Amino acid sequence: MWKSVTLGLSLAIAASIASTPALAQAQCDSRDKILATLAKKYSEAPVAVGLTSKGGLVEVLSTGDGDTWTIIMSTPDGKSCLVAAGEGWREKEAVALNSDPEI
């Protein structure tokens, strides 16, 4: 399931980058600085995290009430870049995996 979630998120990230000229110049800095800035300016904190096959870290940050959200991707050396941002983040209820291998 995590592979499909990671794949879906990766495709969404790629689509948003390709369709948004403003993101052509990536906004990157150290992970610590980006997390501190997002916490101070928007009160955002990590709410979801995933690892890429190449060791990258994808994080979704959001406010407690979901007013704003940001997705960042970090490299193993600590460099992070803003990937996407928006409003209205909503958590979905976790779905249990089906134990039937036929489905």
Q: Which residues form the domain of 58?
A: 2-87
Asked whether residue 97 is domain-assigned, the answer is: no
- Structural domain tally of the chain? 1
Residue 63 near residue 42 (C-beta atoms within 8 A): yes
| 60 neighbors 89 (Cβ within 8 angstroms) | yes
Residue 65 lies in a domain: yes
| Domain-located, residue 98 | no
Whether 27 is in a domain gets the answer yes
**pLDDT tens digits along 11-69:** 455 555 444 454 456 799 999 999 999 999 999 999 999 999 999 999 999 998 889 99
Residue owning tokens 């052509």: 24
pTM score of the predicted model:
0.67
Q: Does 45 reside within a domain?
A: yes
**Domain membership flag for residue 102:** no
